[in-house]
Amino acid sequence: MISHNIGQFFALQYFKLFNRYKYKSRIVSIFEHISSASHVCVCLPCNEKDFNESLISIEQFRQIFPKAHITLLNCTDQSISKQKFHAFRLLTYDRQKLTFLGLPSKEIRHDIATSKFDVVIDLSLSFSFVNTALSWLSNAGLRICFNDPKRDNLYNFVVRLVPETKWDKSYQQLLQYLGAKKSSVNE
């Protein structure tokens, strides 16, 4: 566990340093990316409470990205119904088999890096190194997350929440920002 923390620290510093030069002059049109997205990756949270709340909002992404191929990135700690989410591609990684840097297997990293995602959405309310690293490795033009000082500068659309915001409302707020209709978000 200590080796993961040290490895993650150095990996985050590398991502932040490289990110500064990689995207220096790149301006992103959020609504253009959302409307033209053909491949979307949704990184599900690893902790149980956030995971269960996020599952309620998954179907809404079909409304926001009606023509896109949507991939759900999930850790094996959380079970997801393949029958319920059959319209989504599922990509899972095992948290027990992380590398020294705390990253999933080489196959998962390669799959993420070569999938040509237009948009990556990290649904982790609290910092998740794996989701942050895989979002960054995806090279997606639009990377979305909830605010956290450890990851804010690695994403180009950060949803800032008031500290008093209830966690279940945060997913509704994200969906509204992305363009979901209010009536379907509040259901």
The domain spans of the chain are 2-185
pLDDT of residue 94: 85
More confident residue, 5 or 182: 5
* Number of helices (H), then strands (E), in the chain: 7, 6
pLDDT of residue 146: 92
Handedness of CA 82, 84, 86, 88 (dihedral sign): negative
In the predicted model, is pLDDT for residue 70 greater than 90?
Answer: yes
Residue 118 confidence (pLDDT) above 90: yes
Better-predicted residue by pLDDT, 56 or 116? 116
- Superfamily for domain range 2-185: Glycogen Phosphorylase B; (3.40.50.2000)
**pLDDT for res 121:** 95
Q: Averaged over 120-125, what is the pLDDT?
A: 93
- Is the model more confident about 112 or about 182? 112
26 pLDDT band, cuts 50/70/90, is: low
Residue 1 has pLDDT above 50, yes or no: no
CA atoms within 13 A on the CB side of 25: 0
Looking at residue 152, its pLDDT comes to: 81
Query: CB burial class (10 A; 0-12, 13-18, 19+) of residue 46?
Result: buried
| Chain mean pLDDT for the chain | 81
Look at residue 182 in the predicted model and tell me its pLDDT. 60
Is residue 94 within 8 Å of residue 102, measured between CB atoms? no
If one compares 97 and 175, the residue with the highest pLDDT of the two is 175
Residue predicted with more confidence, 17 or 175: 175
**Which of these ranges, 11-25, 50-64, 129-143, has the smallest mean pLDDT?**
11-25
73, 44 in Cβ contact below 8 A? yes
Q: In the prediction, which pLDDT does 25 show?
A: 44
CA distance 56 to 84: 11
Write down the pTM of the prediction.
0.82
Distance CA 118, CA 151 (A): 19
- Reduced to 3 states (helix: H, G, I; strand: E, B; else coil), residue 60 is helix
Q: Enter the DSSP assignment of 79.
A: -
